[in-house]
């Protein structure tokens, strides 16, 4: 059978020892963030992307090999496993190819061919096959067929020939090489064609661009494929693959008809047409649609992953006293106060958008809160009444001594969080509206720590997320969250259990136990204390310790990404350099002039030593970018305030395959089409823009009826 490690080394352009060592680490339960960060010597510095590709391909090939064994056994039990077939199955590298080979031997429901066999017509089919040669023995099909007329159900010679044709048609339809050719032909030459149902006249649906839509199968973009699938699911349209069927039939005839005898040739022509139309066409077009849908799923999930990563790694405004406002007109604005650790302190409801008296009262309330809690940040949710609330706060700040930074915060998913079990456990005595305001404030302080509490699908950075493979989507988004959390690192003494659950090696149960231990015994003083947490054993400690930070603890190295297993090396270096550990930055300065090779051991090589040096230069640093925020144009609050040609500042909320959506402060994101992203050709929007990026745009078109805003970044200097 296939030597998977050897095959993967060749396929992924890796050295055999890299693959073998990585697979061994996976088998030992090591996580990908841990291997990428702390086992560089064993994998020759494979990064997370390489490791995930390896893990995915290994899983695919392992499943393929297991399936091969099942199929080989099944065919052998039927006594039909030839050496040639066995060799073909063993050499398979694709699941589709493997299932094609198995198709003739797969247990199947009762078909026209099985009925014909039950009537004893298989010998007739074999006789007809024997005539399909260059120089056939002259024979009369009707005379031969007449021999099969019986009381068991064959009443005429014509009926016998039809039964024999059914047997031969099924054999043809199950030939792997024929199916493979037609499948490739459909992929290369087929055309997707959509048609609207009569119930939906022109201009009545969101799928209007797909009315009488045609595009080659090989050229369809992932978002177009998913849109067609959604349109069909919602029963608005139907779509199919059209192609030149004569080309396919000619191919089948060229491969299957050997004789020049007109009678046999005509029989085979009719049989092949039936085989294709009845047994191959629907299944193969279905497989091609499924293949394109799978590709669209994968590409869309990749875009979702990239957007989620950028959102989770958005620059934090910092852990500072924060006033969080969830805006509203009739129900008022919900105002929550958070301290510099994100702890909830106070709540007030204010009504700045009603009577003048209420507006004055709201202004005084917010002023008092700003002074009382020495507020440094004001987070305003970007939902209903957001621009009006922002203007109100701007005017108010002109009259205060303290000038907090005011930021509009994307509140997608905040309502999901506020009604969730997580929020209920965190704030059992608070109303859902208050929880929503708290979430908005915490998103500004530290987006990653707050957003991990929400299902990524509710954050609003994906396209067609409900239409793609849900199992694959969850897997990839969970991997993205895990990657981001471990990249940034987690404060062990302030992290929520949701954040801790995403740390390498920590399960939900262990995360709960860490929080319980912290609540009972107070803040952790050092990483070794983790071993006292119930169910957190040596293996989990090994996986997690390097990603957990302790500020102001017993050991300054506990506030770095240096793993405890390397402390002895750092201590030896510090001793040689005569620098105390509490002055770790000096170690880095002096180590720059030292030969690192002298500290290499069996387990700590130069890659780890370089990481240690980098970490000691800026211990406890946050790897995320510097905080920036967009300033929306005053007076532009609704879509009807926009005019073509306006230049505005906004923030990118979502990146799709066809462009980027930008929040410009009018409650409806505008679209910068891929063709308007830059003055040069752009093949992938992710190469030019990212979620959370502050950009300048020009308004190209406004359609109030459809709530569509077209924007351009080309004409505006960024």
**CATH code, 69:** 1.10.10.650
Task: Tell me how far apart the alpha carbons of residues 158 and 479 are, in angstroms, rounded to a whole number.
Answer: 62
- Residue 261 sits in the same domain as residue 116: yes
User: What's the pLDDT score for residue 97?
Assistant: 95
Task: Tell me how far apart the alpha carbons of residues 225 and 217 are, in angstroms, rounded to a whole number.
Answer: 9
User: Is residue 609 in a domain?
Assistant: no
- Residue 134 sits in the same domain as residue 160: yes
Given its phi and psi angles, is residue 139 left (phi above 0), alpha (psi -120 to 50 degrees) or beta?
beta
- Residue 119 sits in the same domain as residue 159: yes
Q: Which of 248, 269, 275 is nearest to 175 (CA)?
A: 275
- Residue 118 sits in the same domain as residue 97: no
The CA angle 331-336-342, to the nearest 5 degrees, is 150
- Residue 169 sits in the same domain as residue 67: no
- Residue 123 sits in the same domain as residue 184: yes
Expressed as residue numbers, the domain containing 402 is 322-445
User: What's the pLDDT score for residue 514?
Assistant: 97
- Residue 36 sits in the same domain as residue 80: yes
Count of residues in the chain: 718
414, 445, 476: which is the final residue of a domain? Answer: 445
C-alpha dist (Å) from residue 383 to 338, 617, 663 = 20, 42, 11
- Residue 327 sits in the same domain as residue 343: yes
CB 287 within 8 A of CB 183: yes
- Residue 140 sits in the same domain as residue 32: no
- Residue 101 sits in the same domain as residue 139: no
**CATH code, 225:** 1.10.3500.10
**CATH code, 670:** 2.40.50.140
Does the pTM surpass 0.85? The reply is: yes
User: Is residue 657 in a domain?
Assistant: yes
Which DSSP symbol is given to 281? H
User: What's the pLDDT score for residue 639?
Assistant: 93
User: Is residue 130 in a domain?
Assistant: yes
- Residue 116 sits in the same domain as residue 139: yes
User: Is residue 194 in a domain?
Assistant: yes
User: Is residue 492 in a domain?
Assistant: no
Number of domains making up the chain: 4
105, 122, 156: which is the final residue of a domain? Answer: 105
- Residue 132 sits in the same domain as residue 224: yes
445, 479, 498: which is the final residue of a domain? Answer: 445
User: Is residue 166 in a domain?
Assistant: yes
Helix axes 95-102, 83-91, angle to 10 degrees: 160
What are the contacts of 394-399 at 24+ separation with CB within 8 A? 394/634, 396/363, 396/366, 396/367, 399/363, 399/367
**CATH code, 429:** 3.30.420.140
For the chain, 718 residues long, the average pLDDT of each consecutive 10-residue run is 94 97 97 97 96 97 97 96 96 95 92 94 94 81 90 88 97 96 97 92 86 95 94 94 97 95 93 97 97 95 94 94 96 96 95 95 96 97 92 94 94 89 93 94 95 88 85 94 96 95 97 96 96 96 97 93 93 87 80 79 87 86 89 90 93 93 93 94 93 94 90 88
User: Is residue 672 in a domain?
Assistant: yes
User: Is residue 120 in a domain?
Assistant: yes
User: What's the pLDDT score for residue 133?
Assistant: 87
């Amino acid at each position: 059978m296939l030597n998977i490690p050897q095959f993967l080394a060749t396929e992924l352009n890796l050295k055999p020892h890299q693959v073998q060592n990585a697979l061994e680490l996976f088998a030992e339960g090591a996580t990908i963030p841990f291997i990428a960060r702390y086992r560089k010597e064993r994998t020759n510095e494979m990064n997370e992307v390489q490791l995930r590709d390896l893990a995915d391909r290994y899983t695919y090939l392992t499943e393929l090999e297991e399936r091969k064994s099942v199929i080989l056994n099944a065919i052998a039990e039927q006594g039909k496993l030839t050496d040639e077939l066995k060799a073909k199955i063993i050499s398979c590298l694709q699941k589709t190819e493997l299932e094609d080979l198995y198709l003739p031997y797969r247990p199947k429901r009762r078909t026209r061919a099985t009925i014909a066999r039950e009537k004893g017509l298989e010998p007739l089919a074999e006789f007809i096959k024997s005539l399909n040669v260059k120089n056939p023995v002259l024979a009369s099909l009707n005379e031969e067929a007449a021999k099969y007329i019986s009381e068991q159900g064959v009443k005429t010679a014509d009926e016998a020939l039809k039964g024999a044709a059914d047997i031969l048609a099924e054999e043809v339809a199950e030939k792997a090489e024929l199916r493979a050719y037609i499948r490739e032909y459909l992929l290369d030459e087929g055309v997707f064609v959509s048609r609207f149902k009569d119930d939906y006249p022109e201009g009545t649906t969101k799928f209007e661009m797909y009315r009488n839509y045609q595009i080659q199968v090989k050229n369809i973009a992932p978002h177009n494929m998913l849109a067609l699938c959604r349109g069909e699911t919602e029963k608005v349209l139907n779509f199919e693959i059209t192609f030149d069927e004569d080309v396919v039939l000619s191919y089948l005839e060229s491969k299957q008809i050997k004789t020049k005898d007109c009678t046999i040739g005509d029989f085979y022509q009719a049989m092949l047409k039936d085989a294709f139309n009845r047994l191959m066409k629907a299944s193969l077009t279905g497989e091609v649609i499924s293949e394109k849908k799978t590709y669209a799923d994968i590409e869309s999930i990749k875009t979702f992953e990239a957007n989620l990563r950028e959102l989770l790694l958005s620059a934090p405004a910092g852990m500072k006293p924060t006033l969080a406002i969830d805006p509203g007109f009739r129900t008022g604005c919900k105002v929550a106060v958070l301290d510099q650790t994100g702890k909830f302190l106070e709540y007030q409801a204010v009504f700045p958008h009603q009577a003048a008296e209420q507006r004055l009262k709201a202004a005084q309330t917010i002023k008092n809160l700003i002074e009382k809690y020495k507020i440094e940040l004001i987070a305003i949710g970007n939902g209903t009444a957001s621009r009006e609330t922002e203007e109100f706060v701007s005017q108010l700040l002109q009259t205060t001594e303290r000038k907090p930074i005011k930021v509009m915060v994307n509140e997608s998913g905040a309502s999901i969080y506020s009604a969730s079990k997580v929020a209920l456990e965190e704030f059992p005595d608070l109303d859902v509206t208050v929880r929503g305001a708290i979430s908005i404030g915490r998103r500004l302080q530290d987006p990653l720590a707050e957003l991990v509490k929400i299902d990524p699908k509710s954050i609003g950075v994906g396209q067609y997320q409900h239409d793609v493979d849900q199992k694959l989507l969850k897997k990839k988004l969970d991997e993205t969250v895990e990657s981001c959390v471990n990249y940034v690192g987690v404060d062990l003494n302030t992290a929520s259990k949701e954040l801790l659950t995403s740390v390498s090696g920590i399960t939900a149960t262990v995360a709960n136990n860490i929080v319980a231990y912290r609540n009972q015994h107070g803040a952790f003083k050092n990483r070794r204390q983790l071993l006292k947490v119930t169910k957190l054993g040596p293996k989990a400690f090994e996986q997690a310790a390097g990603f957990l930070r302790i500020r102001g603890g017993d050991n300054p190295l506990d506030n770095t990404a240096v793993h405890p297993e390397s402390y002895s090396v750092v201590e030896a270096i510090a001793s040689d350099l005569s620098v105390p550990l509490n002055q770790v930055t000096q170690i880095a300065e002096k180590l720059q002039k030292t030969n690192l090779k002298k500290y290499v051991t069996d387990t700590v090589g130069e890659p780890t030593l370089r990481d240690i040096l980098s970490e000691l230069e800026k211990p406890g640093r946050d790897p995320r970018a510097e905080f920036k925020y967009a300033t929306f144009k005053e007076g532009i609050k609704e879509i009807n305030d926009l005019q073509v040609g306006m230049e505005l500042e906004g923030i990118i909320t979502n990146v799709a395959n066809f462009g980027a959506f930008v929040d410009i402060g009018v409650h409806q994101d505008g679209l910068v089409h891929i063709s308007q992203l830059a003055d040069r050709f752009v093949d992938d929007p992710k190469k030019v823009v990212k979620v959370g990026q502050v950009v300048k745009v020009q308004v190209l078109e406004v359609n109030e009826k459809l709530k569509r805003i077209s924007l351009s970044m080309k004409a505006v200097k960024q």
